[in-house]
């Protein structure tokens, strides 16, 4: 027993040492204080707030590039525009100024943020006024409504950005990555597109998305500035210092409250749409045919879910059944709107189209088979004809040439001789030549004629009968 009592303190000591080692490792792994250059970070952020001169022109051209990318639905072009856009400067300035009670920097950041938004909207508005650039594309439509996931992207991106900037050695690749991930430029261009075509729902949705990204990036910068204990701006007048501190705290509270409200609202909308999607999936599993599913049919504001049914109509009992199940999907006080067409006419039309399609497929299949048969026959006849012509001799031409070469030739005839030994069949080309009696050296002429015919016809075996 005494030995066991002696072992317990030793074990506890080892555990305590192990835990201390783990804590030290985690502290060194996650600590960002030791490598932070606060003064350089403040200078760097303040230098990038201004939207004048070169920065303004860079902003204009990046807006044009992003607008072209959205118009042609090219993610690569949009990403390029986000890389060169100077949108993050004023937003970081807002977070920094609130965190350090710097009222002058806050005013400067907000004014430049307004200039940035106005200049971006004006440039994209003028671009999309051009008729050939006014068509809706998937890249544009994707920026017309925010999602709760955009909040997490903005928070994580803002935290990564301010941490990367606060390092002694800046991580430019991280800054570029945040510019792409938070995607501040495309919503502004989409808002300009909404103004250009007169669609204020597009404008409102895109500006809402931009506002979410802006607020949460500024909030992330504020949190890190406070966490790293950036030096507060000091004022000689104590009353002014207190007034500014209260004002900065009030602005920080407003930003934080707006962030919480936006996040909660987007979370509820996303939850509503997910619940509606689950409801429709279960309705489909029960055998109901639903067409034209759109997210726009899930109206969170009006608390309604609209579906379009074709084929077999839902009875009143079935409608009441699914309506009663709405609370089980978290859709309390939600109205289920079911649009049903005249199913008999629709099903008849679908059936007619199906039958017509099947008939056409049969006709096409039979026609293809007929064409294939004809093509095979043509190929076979061409092959046989080639064999036939290959074995033929241009006798007319040969006879004319023979008459010119051999003036003593009176008559020439040609035939094919088939000979067999009952094992194989041979074909022999036979010429019958008749000479004038006045021909001298008839034997030599006969030999010459045979050699000429073999050479002219490229034949190894040839028989020439002379008379």
* Cα(454)–Cα(464) distance, integer angstroms: 10
* Cα(342)–Cα(440) distance, integer angstroms: 106
Residue with tokens 């705290």: 249
Q: Any idea how long the chain is?
A: 467
For residue 337, give the H/E element and its range. strand 335-340
User: Which residues, 6+ apart, have CB-to-CB distance to 395 below 8 Å?
Assistant: 414
Residue with tokens 């022109």: 57
**Phi (first) and psi of residue 287, to 5 degrees:** 105, 5
The pTM (predicted TM-score) of the whole model is 0.56
The predicted structure's pLDDT at residue 249: 66
Please check the confidence at residue 20 and state whether its pLDDT lies above 90: no
* Cα(267)–Cα(372) distance, integer angstroms: 62
The predicted structure's pLDDT at residue 174: 54
User: Which residues, 6+ apart, have CB-to-CB distance to 204 below 8 Å?
Assistant: 194
Residue-wise pLDDT for 276-314, tens only, equals 888 878 878 877 777 666 666 777 777 787 777 776 677
More confident residue, 258 or 445: 445
The predicted structure's pLDDT at residue 23: 73
Q: Name the β-bridge partners of 432.
A: 413, 465
**Phi (first) and psi of residue 433, to 5 degrees:** -115, 135
Query: Given the DSSP bridges, would you call strands 409-420 and 335-340 parallel, antiparallel or unpaired?
Result: unpaired
Residue-wise pLDDT for 28-59, tens only, equals 666 666 667 778 888 888 888 888 888 889 88
Q: Name the β-bridge partners of 414.
A: 431
User: What Rg do the C-alpha atoms of the chain give, in angstroms?
Assistant: 45
Most confident of 57-71, 95-109, 244-258, 289-303: 57-71
With 0-12 / 13-18 / 19 or more C-beta atoms within 10 angstroms meaning exposed / middle / buried, residue 240 is: exposed
User: Which residues, 6+ apart, have CB-to-CB distance to 200 below 8 Å?
Assistant: 194
DSSP symbol at 34: T
Token pair recorded at residue 366: 């039979």
């Amino acid at each position: 027993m005494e030995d066991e009592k002696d072992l317990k303190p030793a074990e506890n000591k080892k555990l305590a040492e192990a835990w201390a080692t783990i804590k030290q490792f985690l502290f060194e792994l996650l600590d960002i204080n030791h490598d932070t250059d606060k003064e350089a970070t403040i200078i760097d952020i303040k230098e990038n707030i201004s939207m004048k001169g070169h920065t303004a022109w860079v902003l204009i051209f990046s807006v044009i590039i992003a607008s072209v990318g959205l118009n042609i639905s090219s993610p690569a072009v949009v990403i390029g525009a986000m890389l060169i856009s100077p949108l993050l400067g004023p937003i970081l300035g807002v977070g920094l100024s609130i965190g350090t009670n710097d009222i002058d920097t806050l005013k400067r950041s907000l004014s430049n943020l307004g200039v940035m938004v106005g200049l971006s909207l004006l440039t994209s508005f003028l671009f999309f006024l051009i008729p050939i650039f006014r068509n809706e594309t998937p890249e544009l439509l994707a920026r017309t409504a925010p999602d709760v996931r955009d909040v997490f992207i903005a928070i994580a991106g803002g935290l990564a950005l301010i941490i990367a900037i606060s390092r002694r050695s800046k991580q430019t690749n991280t800054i570029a990555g945040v510019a792409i991930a938070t995607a501040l430029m495309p919503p502004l261009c989409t808002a300009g597109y909404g103004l250009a075509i007169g669609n204020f729902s597009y404008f409102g949705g895109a500006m809402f998305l931009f506002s979410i990204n802006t607020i949460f990036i500024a909030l992330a910068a504020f949190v890190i500035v406070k966490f790293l204990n950036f030096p507060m701006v000091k004022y000689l007048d104590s009353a002014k210092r207190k007034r500014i501190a209260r004002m900065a705290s009030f602005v920080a509270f407003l930003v934080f409250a707006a962030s919480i409200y936006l996040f909660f609202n987007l979370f509820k909308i996303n939850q509503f749409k997910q619940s509606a999607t689950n409801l429709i999936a279960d309705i489909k599993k029960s055998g109901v045919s639903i067409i034209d599913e759109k997210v726009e049919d899930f109206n969170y504001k009006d608390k309604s879910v609209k579906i379009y049914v074709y084929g077999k109509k839902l009875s009143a009992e079935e409608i009441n059944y699914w309506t009663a199940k709405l609370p089980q999907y978290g859709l309390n006080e939600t109205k289920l709107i079911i649009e049903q067409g005249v199913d008999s006419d629709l099903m008849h039309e679908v059936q007619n189209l199906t039958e017509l399609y099947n008939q056409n497929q049969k006709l096409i299949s039979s026609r293809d088979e007929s064409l294939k048969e004809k093509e095979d026959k043509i190929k076979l006849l061409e092959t046989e004809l080639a064999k036939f012509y290959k074995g033929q001799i241009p006798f007319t031409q040969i006879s004319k040439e023979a008459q010119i070469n051999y003036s003593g030739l009176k008559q020439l005839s040609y035939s094919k001789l088939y000979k067999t030994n009952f094992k194989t069949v041979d074909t022999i080309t036979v010429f019958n030549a008749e000479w004038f009696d006045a021909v001298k050296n008839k034997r030599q002429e006969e030999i010459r004629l045979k050699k000429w015919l073999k050479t002219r016809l490229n034949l190894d075996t040839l028989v020439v009968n002379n008379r």
